[in-house]
Chain A
């Protein structure tokens, strides 16, 4: 059970779930959460590779820390934008935000 491929597989599945959610959900919040899932999948990947292959165990962990940090910032910005959008069009459903097209 504790082979590299297991982790990679789980990460892939996680990533795909995130992707699916991203495409499926119409509410911006839901999409944001799916993106977080994908980021976590990436983190998992890094840790796995780090654990099983990398000579220098620090790299992967650093990477994951960075990703988490940046993901937080990202979430902040995303939420503020969603809030702004909500102020303007009274909805956080992307289907409502379709003025720009063509």
Chain B
């Protein structure tokens, strides 16, 4: 469909949404940094207004027919032109709302969470930077612009994950996140170049409409897969999934932001953004499906053995992302996007709740939390439960419906194996979620509650702080509860309001999923919930598996080994030696040789007159001889 130019209102709103966060970044970072409250205020305003703008735009275009496009040339050189602009269509509008919403809530939440942190103002500056790059990514009109802000998202996540950079682990995690996603972006970049050289047009609409027809299947698949490499990196899919759990080193609100709406969601967003393009090559979609499945299963297994609350949610994020990719890979465009939406809500909620506990009990281990009486914090506890239930897909919460759509998309596939795998994943999810919930609800009081003495991340503050942090929870909890009902409306909105093809609705599928979830929950009840349960997972009785899962299937170990022994140990050392010995040593050797030659020649000047005379005569004689010869 042909895009239309924005009218004044749309233009100003969109630019407002894109521009304000950047403005606040510069303001806070360079101007108001010394004055914390002012900085927070600026940043809050600059993230609140975009939210309003986003909602306004969404409401105003609920029944939009044609995408709205506005661009200008950002860079032009050597036949390559990079455009900067925005593309408003249902997908980008929906995503815009999610991003702005979550980032606003997180900023509000951080008011309490980061209270008293020396670097609070800088933290807000980075949050704004993050918001800016994510918003611009969402609204990007061209693939190159998308890539640019994709990189910036990576940068800001690097800054935020490593925010407490005096902790070695934190800076390490930030570096890891950046480099690993960079590795994936390599493919993304190459894919863009391939498209650029063969298609010459990087506008998203153009790609979606013409790529399939104008590219040979081989090139199409190649570029699609290369781009998907970027997605794998960003969305922490197999095999690049290990950076995300480490990213927990950042402040918890950051994790919430990272995991729900911004960083990792970008990958899913990219695939759905280019969904028609991907559809052009079945092989590519097949790969998406495979990767998604593998990731989901792997990470759920990891979640089953984690005892760090944030770790659990991190693994679950990875697995849920895998789930979305399964949906997309199965051709369920709406399934992926819908699950992305709901997941954004309840995952943000999960993290923010955990944040409250961590902040309160200064520990990340939910067994300890439970023992210290986590139940007493009513609001977080309830919202945690709601979110957990949603995550594991309990009716009537949002997660249930989105999961249903994904599963039904899988059911469409000729091969039933995918569906079974999907169900298995759902079961595992339910298991580890309820494991955590039961532990939190029914603690075993082995020792008196660990007081609030020790202060890890954060620290204990007054009731005001508590409520500042609790308020966003309530909002998100409500959303989590209600989003389920919004499914059909969203679907039609995303489909440009056209009547939907009657998707075959499998009643048995609902039943199956319910059963599976129940099974998972039941197992969790047996092991952790019921009175007198040992709170020991069945896995602890299978040390092999336990170690495997606890060590993330040794993926990290593998990367570390490669880095140490191949990159540092082999190439770096080899090249450095070569540089010292061969390249540089060669030069020095040459110079020494020259000096030696000089010394030899100076021996000619023996000091004995006759030698000199003799040399003279000899040379002249030789010269004469030469003449007679030629």
* Residue positions of A touching B, CB distance < 8 A: 19, 22-23, 26, 31, 94-95, 97-102
Alpha-carbon gap, A97 to B611, bound state (A): 13
Mark contacts of B589-630 with chain A using CB atoms, 8 A cut-off: 1 yes-contact digit, 0 otherwise: 000000000000011011111100110010000000000000
Beyond the given A31-B609, A94-B610, A98-B606, could you list 11 further A-B residue pairs with CB under 8 A, ordered by the A residue number? Answer: A19-B617, A23-B613, A23-B614, A98-B607, A98-B608, A100-B607, A101-B605, A101-B606, A102-B602, A102-B605, A102-B607
Nearest CB in chain A to that of B614: its residue: A23
Task: Report B526 CB to chain A, min CB distance, Å.
Answer: 98
6 A–B pairs (Cβ distance < 8 Å), ordered by A: A19-B617, A22-B613, A23-B614, A97-B609, A99-B607, A100-B607
Q: CB distance A23 to B610 under 8 Å?
A: yes
CB pair B607 A26 closer than 8 Å:
no
Chain A residues with Cβ under 8 A from B602's Cβ?
102
Residues of B within 8 A of A97 (CB): 609
Q: Give the distance in Å from the alpha carbon of A94 to the alpha carbon of B608 in the complex.
A: 7
A23 to B617 alpha-carbon distance, docked (Å): 9
Q: In whole angstroms, what is the CA distance A95 to B608 when docked?
A: 6
* A22 to B602 CA separation, bound complex (whole angstroms): 23
Interface pair B617/A26, CB less than 8 Å apart: no
Give Cα A100 to B606, complex, Å.
8
Closest partner residue, chain B, to A26 (CB atom):
B610
A19-B617, A23-B617 are contacts. A94–B605 as well, Cβ < 8 Å?
no
Q: How large is the interface on B (under 10, 10 to 19, 20 to 34, 35 or more residues)?
A: 10 to 19
**Residues of chain B within 8 A of A26, CB atoms compared:** 610
**A102 contacts across to B, CB distance below 8 A:** 602-603, 605, 607
Residues of chain B contacted by A98 (CB below 8 angstroms): 606-608
Within 8 A of A (CB), among B301-342: none
- Give chain B nearest CB distance to A24 CB in angstroms: 8
**Distance in Å: Cβ of B616 to nearest Cβ of chain A:** 10
**For residue B610, which residue of chain A has the nearest CB?**
A23
Distance between Cα atoms of A99 and B609 in the complex (Å): 11
Inter-chain contacts of B617 with A (CB < 8 A):
19, 23
Residues of A within 8 A of B608 (CB): 94-95, 98
Distance in angstroms between the alpha carbons of A98 and B610 in the assembled complex? 11
CA distance A96 to B613 in the complex (A): 17
Per the bound structure, the CA–CA distance linking A19 and B617 in Å amounts to 9
Which B residue's beta carbon lies closest to that of A100?
Answer: B607
**Closest B residue to A28 using CB positions:** B609
B610 cross-chain contacts in A, Cβ below 8 A: 23, 26, 94
A29: min CB distance to chain B, Å: 13
Please, what's the 1-or-0 string for B540-562, where 1 marks a CB less than 8 Å from any CB in chain A? 00000000000000000000000
A95→B605 CA distance, assembly (Å): 14
CB distance from A101 to the nearest CB of B (A): 3
Chain A residue contacts of B605, Cβ below 8 A = 101-102
The 6 A-B residue pairs whose C-beta atoms are closest, nearest first, are A101-B607, A98-B607, A94-B609, A102-B602, A23-B614, A23-B610
List, in ascending order, chain B residues with CB within 8 A of A31's CB.
Answer: 609
Of all chain A residues, the one with the shortest Cβ separation from B618 is A23
Q: Nearest chain A CB to B618's CB is how many angstroms away?
A: 10
In whole angstroms, how far apart are the Cα atoms of A59 and B74 in the complex? 91
- Scoring A95, A98, A99, A102 by chain B CB atoms within 10 A of each residue's CB, the highest score goes to A102
CB proximity of A89 to chain B, nearest CB, Å: 13
CB closest chain-A residue, reference B608:
A98
User: CB-CB < 8 A to A100: which residues of B?
Assistant: 607
| Shortest distance from the beta carbon of B292 to any chain A beta carbon, whole Å | 81
Residues of the B chain whose Cβ atoms lie less than 8 Å from the Cβ of A22: 613
A23 partner residues in chain B, CB cutoff 8 A: 610, 613-614, 617
User: How far does the Cβ of A4 sit from chain B's closest Cβ, in whole Å?
Assistant: 20
How many Å from the CB of B386 to the closest CB on chain A?
95
Closest Cβ of chain B: how far from A57's Cβ, in Å?
A: 30
A82 CB to nearest B CB, Å: 12
Q: How far is the CB of A100 from chain B (nearest CB, A)?
A: 6
Residues of chain A within 8 A of B607, CB atoms compared: 98-102
Least CB distance from A96 to B in Å reads 10
Q: In the bound complex, what is the Cα–Cα distance between A19 and B603 (angstroms)? A: 24
By beta carbon, the residue of chain A nearest B621 is A19
Q: Could you tell me the distance between the alpha carbons of A23 and B615 in the complex, rounded to whole angstroms? A: 10
Q: Shortest distance in angstroms between A44's beta carbon and chain B's nearest beta carbon?
A: 20
Cα distance A95–B611 in the bound complex, in angstroms: 11
Residues of chain B within 8 A (CB-CB) of A95 are 608
Which of the listed residues B609, B613, B617 has the most CB atoms from chain A within 10 Å of its own CB?
Answer: B609
Across-interface contacts of B613 in A (CB, < 8 A): 22-23
Minimum CB–CB distance from A98 to chain B (whole Å) comes to: 4
**Who on chain B is nearest to A22 by CB?**
B613
Of all chain B residues, the one with the shortest Cβ separation from A97 is B609
CB distance from B609 to the nearest CB of A (A): 5
Cα(A102)–Cα(B613), bound, Å: 16
Query: Within the complex, what minimum Cβ distance (angstroms) separates A81 from chain B?
Result: 13
Determine the residue in chain B with the shortest Cβ distance to A101. B607
Question: For the complex, what is the distance from the CA of A100 to the CA of B614, rounded to whole Å?
Answer: 17
CA distance A70 to B326 in the complex (A): 111
CB closest chain-A residue, reference B607 = A101
> Considering the chains assembled together, what is the distance between the CA atoms of A99 and B608 in angstroms?
9
CA distance A101 to B606 in the complex (A): 5
Bound together, the chains give a CA A101 to CA B617 distance in angstroms of 20
Cβ-closest chain B residue relative to A98? B607
> Which residues of chain A are within 8 angstroms of B606 by Cβ–Cβ distance?
98, 101
* Complex Cα gap A26–B611 (Å): 11
Q: What distance in Å separates the Cβ of A13 from its nearest Cβ neighbour in chain B? A: 16
Digitize B23-52: 1 where CB-to-A-CB distance is under 8 Å, 0 elsewhere: 000000000000000000000000000000
The smallest beta-carbon distance between A90 and chain B, in angstroms, is: 18
User: What is the bound-complex CA distance between A23 and B605, given in angstroms?
Assistant: 16
How far is it, in angstroms, between the C-alpha of A94 and the C-alpha of B607 when the chains are bound? 9
B197 CB, nearest partner CB in chain A, Å:
66
B600–chain A nearest beta-carbon distance, Å: 12
Task: Closest A residue to B609 by CB, please name it.
Answer: A94
B290, chain A: closest CB distance, angstroms: 79
Within 8 A of A (CB), among B43-98: none
C-alpha spacing A94/B606, complex, angstroms: 12
When chains A and B are docked, how far (Å) is the Cα of A100 from the Cα of B602? Answer: 12
Distance in angstroms from B312 CB to nearest chain A CB is: 82
Expressed in whole angstroms, the minimum distance between the Cβ of B607 and any Cβ of chain A is 3
